[in-house]
Amino acid sequence: MKISGFTFVRDAIRLDYPIVEAITSILPICDEFWVALGRSDDGTGEAIRGIGDPKIGIIESDWDPTYFVHGAINAQQTNVALSRCSGDWCFYVQADEVVHEKYLPIIRSAMERCLDHPEVEGLLFDYLHFWGSYETYQKAHGWYRREVRVIRNGRGIESWKSAQGFRRHGEKIKVVHSGAAIYHYGWVRHPRLMKRKQIALDSLHHDAQWVDRRHPDREGAFRYGSLKHLARFKGTHPRVMERRIAEKDWQVEDEPGVKHRHNKLSNRILSFLENRILHTVIGEYRNYIPIKEPSAIRHPR
């Protein structure tokens, strides 16, 4: 069994993406790793090359502005890296996603068990969306609980829309749960760097006029809003994140007057129902078809 890792990235240093941590978190179980590297002048390429692992291949890539609509460039660049993968399974990790080392044997085992069962087209992962710090994460309604990060190669499966998940010729793929989780650090940055990242992200989804209206003060700080309803993280972070976490020298302010979607009253009511009473997500969007692991290979969780 051969495993290919893949990702895409541009300006990771300027925008404070943990790209080195993302790559190195899954590299131990990958036989090759492909990076679609957008033109960057901030040292991103040097940082990736500095990992020093011959399994890593870099594809120099120019970002076509015609794809800067609804995040389509993210899927297009994901597929640039995916097209180089030669493994049986392709393991995708975005530049702000990290996998805990405790999950690597679990993920590899799931791949091995499912390899000879072609009905399984991918593996599903739980998500921890950290918000504002490494000690707090989101459990609010509207944050996706799960997504596909491992796909079977050679099936015509490609990144979908803004690169959140995958589809085959526009159709959802059939997946089983990997038994693992993704640690998503996309919303943990110094407030000024978070503002810079948000502007860059919005620029891939909207036109310049929309971005200017949304961010009249481009040099300001991102405001995280109310921190009251965040869940406390009681586990351990991946080892590859230890240095980044130790070097954190900033704090975010609790600003209840700043409203994000997850703090709107309607969402707070839904969050309360989901987390305290129903223990399920109301109207959850699934960009995949969950199936039971074939009984011949099922294992206790």
- What is the span of the domain harbouring residue 264? 191-233+252-278
The domain total for the chain is: 1
- Report the pLDDT value the prediction gives residue 295, as an integer from 0 to 100: 65
Q: Is 225 within a domain?
A: yes
- Report the pLDDT value the prediction gives residue 301, as an integer from 0 to 100: 43
Q: Is 125 within a domain?
A: no
Closest alpha carbon to 31 in 103, 80, 85, 111: 85
Q: For residue 50, is pLDDT > 90?
A: yes
For 176-214, the three-class secondary structure string (H helix, E strand, C coil) is EEEEEEEEEEEECCCHHHHHHHHHHHHHCCCCHHHHHHH
H or E element, residue 75: helix 72-82
0.75 surpassed by pTM: yes
Instruction: List the single range of 99-103, 124-128, 173-177, 261-265 with lowest mean pLDDT.
Output: 261-265
Q: Report, as an integer, the average pLDDT of 245-264.
A: 93
Question: Confidence band (pLDDT; 50, 70, 90) for 293?
Answer: confident
Q: Is 11 within a domain?
A: no
- Note the pLDDT tens digit of each residue in 65-90: 999 999 999 999 999 999 999 999 99
Q: For residue 300, is pLDDT > 70?
A: no
Q: Is 257 within a domain?
A: yes
Q: Report, as an integer, the average pLDDT of 230-258.
A: 96
For tokens 């890539």, what's the residue?
A: 61
What is the chain's mean pLDDT, rounded?
95
Q: Is 212 within a domain?
A: yes
Q: For residue 297, is pLDDT > 70?
A: no
For tokens 């995280």, what's the residue?
A: 224
Give CA angle at 9 (210, 42), nearest 5°. 90
Closest alpha carbon to 91 in 49, 46, 152: 152
Q: Which two tokens stand for residue 11?
A: 């300006």
Q: For residue 234, is pLDDT > 90?
A: yes
Q: Is 294 within a domain?
A: no
Q: Is 205 within a domain?
A: yes
Q: Is 261 within a domain?
A: yes
Q: For residue 217, is pLDDT > 80?
A: yes
Closest alpha carbon to 300 in 171, 187, 177, 122: 177
- Report the pLDDT value the prediction gives residue 299, as an integer from 0 to 100: 47
3-state secondary structure of 126: strand
- Report the pLDDT value the prediction gives residue 265, as an integer from 0 to 100: 85
Closest alpha carbon to 34 in 70, 7, 53: 7
CB-based contact 287:172 (threshold 8 Å): yes
